[in-house]
A and B are shown apart, each in its own frame.
Chain A
Amino acid sequence: MTAHEDRQTGAVGFKDVPGQPMFHRVLNAQPMIVRATLMDVRRRFARDVGDDTLGRLELVLAELMNNVAEHAPTGKERPRRVPVIHLCVVRHNGGLACALTDDGTSLPDECVLPRSLPAAIPDDLPEGGFGWFLIQDLTQALCYYRRESRNYLAFNIPFSADGEG
């Protein structure tokens, strides 16, 4: 393609734009598909984002997407309808901006309200209730709303304080 043709297609300079890596995927909310998606997210950002930040991103996305799978609608439909998740992650100067929407059940209010760890009673340790604590602990600017049949979540995963990026 000549320079003249480049201009005509609007492709001038496109290769030179310092774009930020991005990940976008539409997936069924099922544990094995969530697992494969998380491994793809890790591969997508491995070159540009430090291990610590990637680890925090992976944990938050795992908690959120597995929640959608676990709390899938239990209507009369047979086979049961599997919710569909749209996931988008973009690297920016302050971290990794994430947007996640799904058509599963709506989130109970207490998920996004400030929360603490489940009580660690020595003889009867909690085996659950950690997921939303981890999500809240590891994210910034977490916001949630539901419109019609979809949940919308957006948040940021900051880079480490040591500037690993």
Chain B
Amino acid sequence: MKFIVEDAATHLQIKVTETRIDAAIATPFKDKLREIVMKNRKPVHLDMAAVDFMDSSGLGAMIAVRKSLPANLAMVLCAMTPNVERVFRLTRMDSVFDIRADATGKDIRE
């Protein structure tokens, strides 16, 4: 389980390198990512571009990590592929996360 973590002063930029977040890896994925975000106590920008498949156990892991962050710290999901975006949309969890098209989470509306 590998995450590429970069401290960008205002937030933590984390690149997910796993291509599938599924039942086979959901638990270690959740534990590792939670450890990273808990240690840093900063808003998190998660670069999801490499992930081309996620199932409901992967979604559960993402929600668990979101819940481990205090509500005032954002968890931004960046550059999601259509396959992954579908899971968030169908379960309405797209309203819980801040979802942006750009890989670094730059808000293109600004």
Contact = CB atoms under 8 A, between A and B. Distances in A.
Interface stretch (A19-27, A76-84, A120-128): A120-128
B67 interface: yes
Interface residues of B, number: 26
Interface string B60-100: 11011011000100000000001100110011110110000
Contacts of B66: 125
A133 interface: yes
A55 B82 contact: yes
Contacts of B60: 127-128, 130
Given A59-B86, A62-B55, A134-B87, A125 B96 contact: yes
Interface string A22-36: 000000000110110
Nearest to B65: A127
Main secondary structure, interface of B, reads: helix
A112 B90 CA distance: 18
B83 to A, nearest CB: 4
A58 B57 contact: no
A66 interface: yes
Interface in B11-39: 20, 22-24
A66 B57 CA distance: 9
Contacts, number: 75
B22 A35 contact: yes
A55 B86 contact: yes
A163 B23 CA distance: 31
A134 B53 contact: no
Contact of A58 (B23, B53, B71, B93): B53
A31 B92 contact: no
Contacts of A51: 82-83
B90 A137 contact: yes
A70 B60 CA distance: 15
Contacts of A63: 55-56
B59 interface: yes
A68 to B, nearest CB: 11
Interface of A: 31-32, 34-35, 38, 51-52, 55-56, 58-59, 62-63, 66, 69-70, 117, 120, 122-128, 130-131, 133-134, 137-138
Interface of B: 20, 22-24, 53, 55-57, 59-61, 63-64, 66-67, 71, 82-83, 86-87, 90-93, 95-96
